[in-house]
Amino acid sequence: MGERARYHRLTRGIMKKLTVLVCCFAILFTAVSAASAETLGFGFVNNTDVALRRGVGGKTIVRLPRDTCVWIRDSRTDSKGVLWYEINAGLHVDYTNVDYTGWMKAEFIDAGEKIWYGAESVSASVTGMIVLRKDGTVAAAGTGIHTADDGGWTEFRNWMNGLHDIRQAGFCTLGLEYYALDKDGIYHADSTPYGILGKHRLRLVGGDEWIFGISTDGRLLRGEEEVSGNWIYPRAPGPEDLARVMDIQDNGCRCILLMDDGTVFVQEDESLDTEADWANWTDIASLEASSCMFTPATRKYRAAYAAVRKDGTVLAAPEELARIIGNWTGMKKVVIGDRWVLGLKQDGTVLSAGMAGVTPPDLSGWTDITDIGTGYDYCVGVRADGTMAFAGEYIFMREGHSRK
């Protein structure tokens, strides 16, 4: 009996020590998780008149109304086990712009898979992002946009939520207008002063500075007007060429059409300092036209272009961009932001490279990504399972805002 008693005492002692050790690991894991929580990106206030506080449980800064769009920067659990989010909230009240940073209980914010699910593709700009779901619905987040008739602000999340059977959605006018094209070829726009607006049946739209559309009867439109202008390579496209266009890109300097054989047609809208050897742009699978800063001292925006060939190699112009990404291989898509460029690899990982002395967000942990986008200060990815990945620091941009 004595040996058995000693055995039980020894066993109980070991179990107590193991329990303490497990508890210590659990506490450590929770602390590390809270300190290194992945940025959750865009979310929305789900209740009415919720307090934004200076710290976890701190003094109230402001009370945010329902549906306020916020950018979630970090998360932390308080002593009572309640999860809090650190957020940026951009508010617009009576045509004034205010950015707030503070803490809010996570229960008052819808984020992550509650709203970002079933995603197929994403379009991103300085004003926010638009997500096209696999079921043809659209989800959006970001700041409201000033309407063209000066009649107020359009909250484009609400506008987008009413759409269905959509096959293309995105931004134009450098993010200040947004649009969608449904499966019947009808163009939907929020407040576009020029533009298509459902009067023409379209099979394809695209563009950054302007919105271009190719009608089902073989015309290239910019707004209500048929595009003519100066085609610098290889010639002006005819209806038979327009029937083979797979993508449309522009940046205010040039409109570029990507053809089904991997070649390009290029129109010059305004002659600037960037020119590529367009005859060498062949076997193209993905195309990007944008503008960005290469030199921080001048803060001058320049036209930029990138293309991914079917073999996964990259073409880029001007030379500054080619030096940054020209050696990328195994690529699927490249997107050019204001201050950095992202590359989606064929294996679902993502590369990033900064410009103008800027260090881009670390995306080395992103995997299983099928589409990417970037705004001025944030990055977004679509995973194969339809969920979203976010990185960066979104500053809500409205007319009159200065970028921090």
Residue ranges of domains in the chain: 1-35, 41-111, 116-392
Query: What's the rounded mean pLDDT across residues 84-113?
Result: 83
Model confidence at 5, in pLDDT bands (50, 70, 90)?
low
> What is the 3 state secondary structure string of the chain?
CHHHHHHHHHHHHHHHHHHHHHHHHHHHHHHHHHHCCCCCEEEEECCCCEEEECCCCCCEEEEECCCCEEEEEEEEECCCCCEEEEEEEEEEECCEEEEEEEEEEHHHEEEHHHCCCCEEEEEEECCEEEEEECCCCEEEEECCEECCCCCCEECHHHHHHCCCCEEEEEEEHHHCEEEEEECCCCEEECCCCCCCCCCCCEEEEECCCCCEEEECCCCEEECCEECCCEEEECCCCCHHHHCCEEEEEECCCEEEEEECCCCEEEEECCCCCCCCCHHHCCCEEEEEEEEEECCCCCCCEEEEEEEEECCCCEEEECHHHHHHHCCCCCEEEEEECCCEEEEEECCCCEEEEECCCCCCCCCCCCCCEEEEEECCCEEEEEECCCCEEEEECCCCCCCCCCCC
Q: What percent of the chain has pLDDT over 70?
A: 77
Return d(Cα 132, Cα 255) in angstroms, integer: 24
Is residue 213 scored above 70 in pLDDT? Answer: yes
- Please measure the distance between the N-terminal and C-terminal CA atoms of the chain and give it in whole angstroms: 75
Query: What's the rounded mean pLDDT across residues 288-292?
Result: 89
Model confidence at 71, in pLDDT bands (50, 70, 90)?
very high
Is residue 150 scored above 70 in pLDDT? Answer: no
Q: Give the pLDDT score at 92.
A: 59
Closest to 202 (Cα-Cα) out of 162, 232, 242, 151? 242
Q: Give the pLDDT score at 293.
A: 83
CATH number of 116-392: 2.130.10.30
On whether the CB atoms of residues 132 and 119 are closer than 8 A, the answer is yes
On whether the CB atoms of residues 308 and 285 are closer than 8 A, the answer is yes
Model confidence at 31, in pLDDT bands (50, 70, 90)?
very low
Q: Give the pLDDT score at 396.
A: 75
Q: Give the pLDDT score at 80.
A: 94
Residue type, position 261, single letter: D
Q: Give the pLDDT score at 154.
A: 52
Model confidence at 272, in pLDDT bands (50, 70, 90)?
low
CATH superfamily name and code, 41-111: SH3 Domains (2.30.30.40)
Look at the pTM and tell me if it is higher than 0.75.
Answer: yes
Segment of 39-48, 86-95, 294-303, 394-403 carrying the highest mean pLDDT: 39-48
Q: Which two tokens stand for residue 34?
A: 């809270």
Higher pLDDT, 239 or 98: 239
Average pLDDT score, the chain: 82
Query: What's the rounded mean pLDDT across residues 226-245?
Result: 92
Q: Give the pLDDT score at 167.
A: 94
Model confidence at 21, in pLDDT bands (50, 70, 90)?
very low
Q: Give the pLDDT score at 26.
A: 40
Q: What is the pLDDT of residues 300-359, one digit of tens each?
A: 888 899 999 999 999 999 999 999 998 999 999 999 998 899 999 999 999 999 988 889
Model confidence at 297, in pLDDT bands (50, 70, 90)?
low
Residues in contact with 393: Cβ distance below 8 Å, sequence separation at least 6, in sequence order = 71, 73, 88, 377, 378
Return d(Cα 404, Cα 398) in angstroms, integer: 13
